[in-house]
Structure 1
Amino acid sequence: MKAALLLVLTVWLNVQYGGCSFPSSCSYPPSKWCSSLDSAIQCGVLKQCLQSNFTKSHQAADQVEVGLYYESLCPGCRLFLTEMLLPTWVLLNDIMSITVVPYGNAQEKTVGGKYVFDCQHGDQECLGNMIEACLLNKTDAAIQIIYCMESSTDVIEAAKSCAELYFPELNWDSIMSCVKGDVGNQLMHQNALKTQALNPPHKYVPWITINGEHTEDLQNKAMTSLFSLVCSMYKGPKHPACGGSQRRYRSYSLNE
């Protein structure tokens, strides 16, 4: 979607300042201009589509991988996710990838053949973790929905309306079936295993990894300015958006 918006902007600028015009034969909406060779030719954007695809193919191989291990109701996690991680990803998603793992400082035990979870901020946080795990399993729009949830006053209450906003086709009943059933239980167990496998073991949340690695230096740089960190670690051609700074957010320990 971002690539389509950038393409629209590029062509609009050409129209405004380059003296060109849209072909009258173009019958495709802007989001579909690069969907096929025919649409690109018909809408007069073949060159831009080819350049965009070439750039994306080269950038994808060198993307900086940012991992976030967090809890759905942790104040520091919510601030980092909504005011640092997602804004950075919106600007730099062609040179960075993100993986979010909702579990954090939760504890897991087995009762009657099922996994039972005890979360740092209570049952509502366990529910929030589970909803977000199911969203990540069900839709490619999960990150946007989670951002909407975490930036809302009530994370749980906002879940359904956020899903309707960012992915109207999503059947909310399927998410709740996941949350209440074996699939959600297994997804949360997998998140527990991923969190427990961290090396070094996590001591607080948000816990951030860069290209699979966690150090206090990387954590501090990510919390101070994830944007600058991603820009500095990207090995490909310098991204035009790189530069700037963002706020720092503190971490929350296991006992907070």
Structure 2
Amino acid sequence: MVNLNLCLLTFSLSLCTFTAFADDLVAVNYYAESLCPDCLAFSKGPMNVAIDKVGSIFTLTYVPSGNAKLQSDGTLKCQHGPMECLINKVDACLLHYYPDRKDFWPFIHCMDEEGQEQDLEVGSNCAKQQGLDWDKIKTCTDGSLGTQLQMMAYNTTANLEPPHRYTPWVTVNGKHDAQAEGFALISVICKAYTGPNKPDACSSL
């Protein structure tokens, strides 16, 4: 059963209308960090294609923390520097207010198009393009709520079993699947899906 309570905590189950029954949907969790080159390539390639081709048969939980490390003062140090921590926090706030994949993924895709040049100005522009409330996202990012959400994403990633070793890290129905971290993602999702109305992309595999 899809746990919709996660949406209220921030992370991103898609609640759009699907042609499949909710209980049949494949649960894909994507653990990422905003400025990671491999994550950017995966998001713009395999994940984006999967959403387009077989998005009706899987939910996506996006967790923006990746390889961040908890420091002795309680703050996080991100692999690709302070800007990555900031954009991870933007993403966490985005997911808090916009848990529907049809809302959050176009924003993330827009940001990813800027690669490692992402910043708050890019975030503002992407929010406007997607019709999202940037002021609300930015207020969250600047305040204690953003810090809380960022730590939740970190703790979710830190509690993975087995522990993640790199990013992007993808689990399918709760289990890590390295094949899903490339263009085999569609194949993995199609094989995991046991419900009706398989997309055409599944029949060509």
Mapped partners of 1:98, 1:171: distance in 2: 22
1:233 lines up with 2:197 in the alignment: no
Q: Who wins on radius of gyration, i.e. which is larger? A: 1
After TM superposition, give the deviation of residue 82 of structure 1 in Å. 1.5
SS of 1:104's equivalent in the other structure is coil
Residue correspondences, number: 183
Which of 118, 123, 145 aligns to 1:155? It is 118
Change (3 A) 1:221 1:179: closer
Task: Give the equivalent residue in structure 2 for 1:134.
Answer: 93
Task: Give the equivalent residue in structure 2 for 1:125.
Answer: 84
Mapped partners of 1:66, 1:136: distance in 2: 16
Structure 1: runs of 5+ lacking an equivalent: 1-52, 246-256
After TM superposition, give the deviation of residue 121 of structure 1 in Å. 0.4
Change (3 A) 1:98 1:130: same
Is residue 92–residue 241 contact of structure 1 (8 Å, CA) maintained in 2?
yes
Mapped partners of 1:243, 1:84: distance in 2: 18
Deviations 1:2-21 (A, max 9, x none): xxxxxxxxxxxxxxxxxxxx
Structure 2: runs of 5+ lacking an equivalent: 1-16
1:71 lines up with 2:33 in the alignment: yes
Task: Give the equivalent residue in structure 2 for 1:183.
Answer: 145
Task: Give the equivalent residue in structure 1 for 2:4.
Answer: none
Percent sequence identity is 37
Q: Which amino acid aligns with 1:225?
A: A
Mapped partners of 2:203, 2:122: distance in 1: 33
Q: Which amino acid aligns with 1:230?
A: I
Mapped partners of 1:181, 1:196: distance in 2: 23
Q: Which amino acid aligns with 2:88?
A: N
Deviations 1:35-66 (A, max 9, x none): xxxxxxxxxxxxxxxxxx8x73x432211111
SS of 2:202's equivalent in the other structure is coil
Q: Which amino acid aligns with 2:160?
A: L
SS of 2:56's equivalent in the other structure is coil
After TM superposition, give the deviation of residue 110 of structure 1 in Å. 5.9
Which of 94, 97, 103 aligns to 2:65? It is 103
Within a 5 Å distance, the mapping from 1:30-45 to structure 2 comes to none
Q: Which amino acid aligns with 2:118?
A: V
Q: Which amino acid aligns with 1:213?
A: K
**Alignment TM-score, normalising by the size of structure 2:** 0.82
Is residue 32–residue 64 contact of structure 2 (8 Å, CA) maintained in 1?
yes
SS of 1:98's equivalent in the other structure is strand
Which runs of structure 1 show a deviation greater than 6 angstroms over 4 or more consecutive aligned residues? Answer: none
Q: Which amino acid aligns with 2:27?
A: E
Mapped partners of 1:92, 1:155: distance in 2: 28
Within a 5 Å distance, the mapping from 1:158-237 to structure 2 comes to 158-167=122-131, 170-214=132-176, 218-237=177-196
Q: Which amino acid aligns with 1:165?
A: Q
After TM superposition, give the deviation of residue 119 of structure 1 in Å. 0.4
Mapped partners of 2:39, 2:32: distance in 1: 6
After TM superposition, give the deviation of residue 229 of structure 1 in Å. 1.2
